């Protein structure tokens, strides 16, 4: 009952062009049936994410560990709430990040859980920068 070959094949890596995404904007792409949020963060969002003491977080992880160095403005996360799998809404909630409408979890501008029932941060999918304006997810 595990995924069949065609499902696995359809889950191959995809390339996403980032050049049309302006600062402060974000796009949602689908990979393996899951929504992936790619946010072009503002300076303010990055500073906010880095100002929080890591130890105080429910799922301690530094912002640096969640983005690729040299591309700090780009946050790439799987847009699936780690609680029960709903899709959080970007640019909502009290932390300049994501808000899940189902059970009220709130994530910050680094996709880290800050408030609510979700146990973990929004997952970061495997991805690499092919060039400065293009990433490959998967």
Partner 1 sequence: MSGPSDYQPSNPALQWIERRLPIFGLVHSSFVVYPTPRNLNYWWTFGAILSFMLGMQILTGVILAMHYTPHADLAFKSVELIVRDVNYGWLLRNMHAVGASMFFFAVYVHMLRGLYYGSYKEPREVLWILGVIIYLLMMATGFMGYVLPWGQMSFWGATVITNLFSAIPYVGESIVTLLWGGYSVGNPTLNRFFSLHYLLPFLIAGVVVLHVWALHVAGQNNPDGVEPKTEKDTVPFTPHATIKDGFGVACFLLLYAWFIFYMPNYLGDADNYIPANPGVTPPHIVPEWYYLPFYAILRSIPNKLAGVIAMFSAIIILCFLPWLDSARTRSSKYRPLAKQFFWIFVVVCILLGYLGAQPPEGIYVIAGRVLTVCYFAYFLIVLPLLSRIETPRPVPNSISEAILAKSRKAVASIAVALVAAGALFVGTVQDARAEEGGTKPPGNNWSFAGPFGHYDRGALQRGLKVYKEVCSNCHALSYVAFRNLAEAGGPGYSAAQAAAFASDYKIKDGPNDQGEMFERPGRPADYFPSPFPNEQAARAANGGAAPPDLSLITKARSYGRGFPMFIVDFFSQYQEQGPDYVAAVLQGFEDKVPEGVTIPEGSYYNKYFPGHAIKMPKPLSDGQVTYDDGSPTTVAQYAHDVTTFLMWAAEPHMEARKRLGLQVFVFLILFAFLMYFTKKKVWADSH
Residues noted as catalytic:
103
Under DSSP, the state recorded for 33 is T
Under DSSP, the state recorded for 56 is G
Our measurement of the distance from residue 92's CA atom to the centroid of its chain's CA atoms, rounded to an integer in Å, reads 14
Using the rule CB under 8 A, is 119 a contact of partner 1?
yes
Query: Of the ranges 24-32, 43-51, 59-67, 90-98, which one interacts with partner 1 (CB under 8 A)?
Result: 24-32
Distance CA 3, CA 84 (A): 21
| List 64, 85, 94, 132, residue binding partner 1 (CB under 8 A) | 85
Phi then psi for 10, rounded to 5 degrees?
A: -70, -15
Using the rule CB under 8 A, is 86 a contact of partner 1?
yes
Residue ranges that bind partner 1, judged by CB under 8 A: 1-4, 7, 11, 28, 30, 32-35, 80, 83-87, 100-104, 117-119
């Amino acid at each position: 009952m595990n995924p069949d070959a065609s499902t696995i094949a359809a889950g191959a890596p995809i390339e996403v062009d980032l050049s049309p995404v302006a600062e402060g904007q974000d796009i949602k792409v689908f990979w393996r049936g899951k929504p992936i949020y790619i946010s072009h963060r503002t300076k303010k969002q990055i500073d906010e994410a880095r100002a929080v003491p890591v130890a105080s977080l429910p799922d301690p992880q530094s912002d640096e560990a969640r983005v690729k160095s040299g591309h700090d403005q780009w946050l790439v996360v799987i847009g699936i709430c780690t609680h029960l799998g709903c899709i959080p809404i970007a640019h909502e909630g009290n932390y300049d990040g994501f808000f899940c409408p189902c059970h009220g979890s709130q994530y910050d501008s680094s996709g880290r859980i800050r408030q609510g029932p979700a146990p973990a941060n929004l997952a970061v999918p495997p991805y690499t920068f092919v060039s400065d304006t293009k990433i490959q997810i998967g």
